[in-house]
C-alpha cells in the first residue's frame, strides 16, 4: 500500500501540470494575407515581447480565408489584402465592426539572377523578353481569389502585356507561392508583393522594380475582428495600430494610412 501511495504522489505534479495546460487560455488564431508573412511574423514577436501574449498566424489567400470565415472558420482576426473581403464580412454581420485600414500594398516585378528578364518600372524589359521569345513561365498569384494576383492582372493589362503572357502564366495559390515560382520555380520572373521582395533571403538572388501604383486599383488592406474574438486577439488588433507595429509594416514597404478607417 505504501508503494502505491508513493507512486501516486510522484504523479501528482505531472497531473497538475496537465490540468493547468488544459485550462490555459487558447491562443487566438489570426488569418492573414500572405503578403504579410514577413512583416506580421515580426509584429507578433514584438507583441509577445511587449505583452506576454501570443497569437497563432496562418497565412494564405485573402479570398480563400473570406470563404472560410463565411462558413464559420476558426479565426479571431482577419487581415485581408483586399478591404472588400473584410467589409463584406462586416456587412454580413460576422465581425465586431468595419475594422480598420492597416496598410496599402505595392506591386513589384521580380526576376531571379541569371534570368533573361531585365526588371524595370515600366515593364519594358518584360515586353522585350517576350518579343524575343525568352519568357516561357511568368508567375503571379491567382487573380480569382488573391488580391495581389488581381492587381497584377490589372497592371499587365495596363501595359498591354496580359494577352501576350496568357499562355505563359504560372498561378500561385497566393502571392507567397507566386514569389517561389518567380524566383526558384523555373519561371523567368513574376509580379509579387513588394513586402515579400524585401526578404533578406532574396538579397543577391533576385532583382525587382516597383510597378507604378496608378496602373492598378489600390491594394487597400483592412483587418476585422470576428464577433467572438477573444481579448488577446482584440489586444493584437489594437497593437497593430500602434507605432511599434506600424514601423515594422513601413519597413516592409507598406504605405501606412493616416488615421483612415
Residue pLDDT, tens place only, 192-217: 999 999 999 999 999 999 999 999 99
- pLDDT, residue 259, reads 58
Residue 251 and residue 199: Cα distance in Å, rounded? 11
Examine the domain organization and report whether 16 and 52 are in the same domain.
yes
In this prediction, residues 167-180 reach a mean pLDDT of 97
236: which 3 cell numbers?
493584437
Residue 20 and residue 75: Cα distance in Å, rounded? 24
State pLDDT tens for residues 66-110. 999 999 999 999 999 999 999 999 999 999 999 999 999 999 999
- 8 Å CB contact between 192 and 148: yes
* Cell 487581415 -> residue: 79
Examine the domain organization and report whether 145 and 180 are in the same domain.
yes
- pLDDT, residue 204, reads 94
- pLDDT, residue 258, reads 79
Examine the domain organization and report whether 29 and 16 are in the same domain.
yes
Q: 37-51 and 231-239 helices cross at what angle (nearest 10)?
A: 110
Examine the domain organization and report whether 164 and 111 are in the same domain.
yes
Beta bridge partners of 209: 109
pTM for the full model?
A: 0.88
Examine the domain organization and report whether 15 and 35 are in the same domain.
yes
CA dihedral over 176, 125, 105, 218, signed as positive or negative: negative
- 8 Å CB contact between 149 and 171: yes
Task: Please count the other Cβ atoms lying within 10 Å of the Cβ belonging to residue 52.
Answer: 8
Q: Is residue 160 situated within a structural domain?
A: yes
- Tell me which residue of 101, 119, 83 sits closest to 192, measured CA to CA: 119
In this prediction, residues 234-250 reach a mean pLDDT of 97
Examine the domain organization and report whether 179 and 226 are in the same domain.
no
Confidence band, pLDDT 50/70/90 cuts, at residue 1 = very low
Q: Is residue 259 situated within a structural domain?
A: no
Confidence band, pLDDT 50/70/90 cuts, at residue 18 = very low
- 8 Å CB contact between 123 and 135: no
Confidence band, pLDDT 50/70/90 cuts, at residue 175 = very high
Q: Is residue 215 situated within a structural domain?
A: no
**Average predicted confidence (pLDDT) for the chain:** 92
Domain extent, residue 49, equals 8-104+220-251
- 8 Å CB contact between 151 and 175: no
Q: Is residue 57 situated within a structural domain?
A: yes
- pLDDT, residue 185, reads 84
What's the length of the chain? 261
Amino acid at each position: 500500500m505504501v508503494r502505491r501511495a508513493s507512486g501516486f504522489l510522484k504523479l501528482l505534479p505531472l497531473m497538475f501540470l496537465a490540468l493547468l495546460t488544459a485550462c490555459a487560455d487558447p491562443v487566438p488564431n489570426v488569418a492573414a494575407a500572405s503578403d504579410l508573412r514577413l512583416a506580421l511574423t515580426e509584429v507578433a514577436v514584438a507583441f509577445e515581447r511587449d505583452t506576454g501574449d501570443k497569437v497563432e498566424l496562418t497565412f494564405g489567400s485573402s479570398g480563400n480565408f473570406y470563404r472560410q470565415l463565411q462558413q464559420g472558420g476558426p479565426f479571431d482576426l482577419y487581415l485581408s489584402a483586399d478591404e472588400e473581403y473584410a467589409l463584406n464580412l462586416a456587412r454580413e454581420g460576422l465581425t465586431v465592426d468595419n475594422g480598420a485600414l492597416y496598410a496599402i500594398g505595392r506591386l513589384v516585378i521580380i526576376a531571379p539572377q541569371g534570368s533573361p528578364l531585365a526588371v524595370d518600372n515600366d515593364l519594358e524589359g518584360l515586353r522585350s523578353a517576350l518579343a524575343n521569345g525568352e519568357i516561357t513561365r511568368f508567375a503571379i498569384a491567382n487573380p480569382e481569389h488573391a488580391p495581389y494576383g488581381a492587381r497584377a492582372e490589372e497592371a499587365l493589362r495596363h501595359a498591354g502585356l496580359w494577352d501576350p503572357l496568357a499562355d505563359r502564366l504560372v498561378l500561385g495559390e497566393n502571392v507567397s507561392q507566386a514569389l517561389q515560382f518567380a524566383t526558384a520555380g523555373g519561371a523567368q520572373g513574376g509580379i509579387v508583393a513588394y513586402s515579400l521582395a524585401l526578404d533578406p533571403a532574396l538579397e543577391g538572388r533576385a532583382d525587382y522594380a516597383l510597378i507604378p501604383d496608378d496602373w492598378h486599383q489600390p491594394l487597400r488592406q483592412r483587418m476585422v475582428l470576428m464577433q467572438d474574438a477573444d481579448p488577446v486577439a482584440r489586444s493584437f488588433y489594437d497593437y497593430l495600430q500602434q507605432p511599434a507595429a506600424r514601423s515594422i509594416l513601413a519597413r516592409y514597404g507598406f504605405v501606412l494610412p493616416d488615421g483612415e478607417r
